[in-house]
Amino acid sequence: MEAHRIEEVQKIKKKSWKKRILIILGIIVTIILLVGIFVNAYINRSLAKVEGEISLAGLEAAVSVTTDEQGVPHIAAASKHDLYMAQGYVQAQHRLFQMEMSRRQASGTLSEIVGAAAVDNDKYFRTLGLRRAAEKSYALYTEESKEILESFADGVNAYIKEATETNSLPVEFTLMGAKPAEWTPVDSLTIGKYMAFDLGGHWERQAFNHYLLETFEEEKALELFPAYPENKPTIIGEGELDIASSFENAVIPHTFNGSNNWVVSGEKTASGMPLLADDPHLGLATPSIWLEMHLETEGVNVGGVIFAGVPGIILGHNEHIAWGVTNTGPDVQQLYVEKRNPENKTEFLYEGRWENAEVIEEPIKVKDEKTIDYEVIETRHGPVVSEFAEESGKDTVLSLRWTALDATTELEAILAINQAENWEQFEKGLEKFLAPAQNFVFAGKDGTIAYKANGNIPIYESAEDALLPLAGWEEENEWKGFIPFDELPRVVNPEKGYVATANNKITGEDYPYHISNVWAQPYRYERISEVLEERTELTAEDMMALQMDVQNLRAREFVPLLTDALQENELTKAENQALQLLQKWNFEDEVDSPEALIYHHWMTEIESTLYKDIPEEMMDMFSAKGQTTDELLRTALKGEPSIWIEESGGLKELLSTALNKTVTKLQTDYGEDLADLRWGDYHQVQFVHPLSGIHPVLAFFFNNEKPMEVGGSSVTPMAASYEPETGMVDHGASWRFVIDTQDMQTGHHIVGPGQSGHFKSDWYDDQLEDWVNGTYHATNLATYEGDKLVLIPD
């Protein structure tokens, strides 16, 4: 009986505990739900408001902001002041955190919110002095341009004030424990200077060339010096210096920061009017580098894209003209070896006399740590860029002369271009676009097509002068000014009916000035030219298809030669299968292609074997490496001697060793049967958010669900450059644009991965699949619908 009672009591206790556990679990779930609701509501507060009315102090009249289905803001205002103020406000709504990070990256102030991990980055950008250059540039601007910059900054600051007061700043600021500072006109110009930095200028290749001569026998070193392949097309017809240590913390722009653009005469189009296409190749991340917008006021009706943080439209079209750019890639950066006075570290030799350098105090504030007292030294040529490497080059140092560090006026050029109605007005606007030098293509509704390589391009005595650091103490090594504006490469209405550029060599031997020793491999240009040459009745749809073209002309050139070179070798069954697949390949880098995966891995292994004696830190400075590899292979395939290839065992041994490594790796990673391989299993894109690497939870929210398979490569018109270790695509067409000038109102765009920087926005990554698949949206300057927000004077 007692046992029965004990059992009953135990049952009651168990039920009681179960009930308590259920209650506790219910409370926990409720708390989680409430926290989730609160967090969700908090996060949603920072979403851009696209409907209703907002009072904005400083406006002169009401401004209409219509956000269309793709998230493109169409801003219509009664005055330029209101237009650019509204543009600043709307940009901040969508991209404030990106704008904050961009100005800090360029200004060298990331440490203030990131902490000690960003100190080396800040030292480098303080040394370069992009912000100092922006401050110098601001002084050159006209009062009208300064007013536009001020209006834009007022709009950004109005949003910052509003979001701060309503506790609705983007969640990234909370995660970083930071708040945005007041926006200034110099911030916008500094971001412009950063884009000049991102497009580079070859100082790293000069440093690499110097390293080669210091490390290897001269004949061997010279084999890796840049050379453009013979008979390939051009755009217009015919010491004692530890380099590696000096630049150990340098931030080196990606070598594939190029682009494609072309313009086709009405004689070759179905509409009888010019077609224009542009796709700038930059880093692929979330949010996009670009923000698509449409701006309208009296005298201005322009659409296209702009960098977040900058007013106007840098690329796009208005009702009269359309334009696009690619990177010219000229030698606009020159390293100088300086002789420092052993008795005074701020004096440097010049023409037999010690000359004072400027010492600039650049204290670096570091989150949760003491401020770092940091000094930058500037010689007559520019900042001493090896100084931040501490003891490296105490007596012999390197300074950098770079056009982007001069005072320049790109924003004034942009504002003029936005209002241009013909080629003459457009070209006049280009006079103020100085850095970075860019290949502009142009199409007008009057039927004109044109091209100009525009910007400050230094005059060198010879091309060889730009290959290596120069002696800074000799006047003869100074630049001889810049190529005169009227003598820059230019063509208007060419007989062949089109102009195309893809970072390839611009001019033939008859051009009197040196532009660059380093060019992109010519394959993207060759493929674009091939299509435009052979076809007529071209349409906008054809241009979109060409931007997505995955024909690999590098493979078309080399695969037959490389496979033929191994015909007499004894190969394994898998190696033979690999060669047989390659011999039947159509040379398209499609996602389903096993051949593309085999070929690209083979070329990577060839380069790894060839350059095994070059340390990793120097390989980062080996810009245009593919161009050099191609030349070495061409030399060997012609039966001519190459030291690098001979030291790798000769051509056949090099190819065989690389093929064996390729097959072994692919079978290990993907399976025994090479025919089942797919390029897309390796070559994928995700558009990663900069904060996603901090924690997997942030990656879950900030990155799209999973990487997507994508075709193309760095040498196809559909540019998709990837990290060899992972296959992840990190550089490519940051924006795609096509227009048929028969309808000057309508442009066709892809802004990957989307318009918004807010991960809960409908426009955060809605264009990711569009980017992968080549699905464009049309944006019209005259007819548009969507959510309507009215900004009213307060």
Burial 544-565 (b: 16+ CB within 10 A, else e): bebbbbbbbbbbbbbbeebbeb
Cα(134)–Cα(344) distance, rounded to whole angstroms? 30
Q: How far is CA 605 from CA 220, 271, 665, in A?
A: 21, 47, 10
User: Which residue, chain included where needed, has tokens 């958010």?
Assistant: 689
Assigned token pair, 540? 């906008």
What is the reported pTM? Answer: 0.92
Among 407, 450, 413, which residue's Cα sits nearest to residue 431? 413
> What's the pLDDT at 255?
61
C-beta separation of 770 from 776 below 8 A: yes
State yes or no: pLDDT of 491 exceeds 50.
Answer: yes
State yes or no: pLDDT of 448 exceeds 60.
Answer: yes
> What's the pLDDT at 246?
54
Q: What is the pLDDT of residues 533-586, one digit of tens each?
A: 999 999 999 999 999 999 999 999 999 999 999 988 899 999 999 999 999 999
Q: How far is CA 265 from CA 36, 351, 742, in A?
A: 57, 53, 12
Report phi then psi at 786, rounded to 5: 155, -165
Q: Count CB neighbours of 217 within 10 A.
A: 10
Residue type, 445: K
Assigned token pair, 793? 């004077």
Cα(708)–Cα(768) distance, rounded to whole angstroms? 9
C-beta separation of 589 from 552 below 8 A: yes
> What's the pLDDT at 391?
41
Report phi then psi at 137, rounded to 5: -65, -40
Cα(241)–Cα(339) distance, rounded to whole angstroms? 12
Average pLDDT, the chain: 91
Q: Render 773-786 in DSSP notation, one character per residue.
A: HT--EEEESS---S
> What's the pLDDT at 230?
59
Reported confidence tier of residue 706, pLDDT bands at 50, 70, 90: confident
Q: Is the dihedral of CA 716, 722, 727, 730 positive or negative?
A: negative
Compute the average pLDDT of residues 64-70: 98
> What's the pLDDT at 704?
74
Assigned token pair, 534? 């052979």
Among 606, 573, 580, which residue's Cα sits nearest to residue 594? 580
312 alpha-carbon distance from chain centroid? 19
Q: Render 390-433 in DSSP notation, one character per residue.
A: TTTTSSEEEEEEEGGGS---HHHHHHHHHH--SHHHHHHHHTT-
Q: What is the pLDDT of residues 5-58, one digit of tens each?
A: 556 656 555 555 655 555 554 444 444 433 344 455 568 899 999 999 999 999
> What's the pLDDT at 226?
85
Q: Count CB neighbours of 15 within 10 A.
A: 10
Assigned token pair, 384? 């001493």
Report phi then psi at 656, rounded to 5: -65, -45
619 alpha-carbon distance from chain centroid? 20
Residue type, 784: Y
> What's the pLDDT at 396?
67
Residues in the chain, how many? 794
Q: How far is CA 183 from CA 61, 652, 676, 789, in A?
A: 23, 60, 54, 23
State yes or no: pLDDT of 447 exceeds 80.
Answer: yes
Assigned token pair, 499? 């102009």
Assigned token pair, 31? 């708390």
Compute the average pLDDT of residues 361-378: 96
Cα(779)–Cα(771) distance, rounded to whole angstroms? 16
> What's the pLDDT at 36?
45
Q: What is the pLDDT of residues 604-640, one digit of tens each?
A: 999 999 999 999 888 988 988 999 999 999 999 999 9
Report helix angle 130-138 to 185-198, nearest 10: 130
> What's the pLDDT at 27?
46
> What's the pLDDT at 393?
43
> What's the pLDDT at 543?
98
Compute the average pLDDT of residues 357-362: 97
State yes or no: pLDDT of 3 exceeds 80.
Answer: no
Assigned token pair, 273? 């009017």
> What's the pLDDT at 419?
98
State yes or no: pLDDT of 248 exceeds 80.
Answer: no
> What's the pLDDT at 386?
82
> What's the pLDDT at 16?
59
Reported confidence tier of residue 482, pLDDT bands at 50, 70, 90: very high
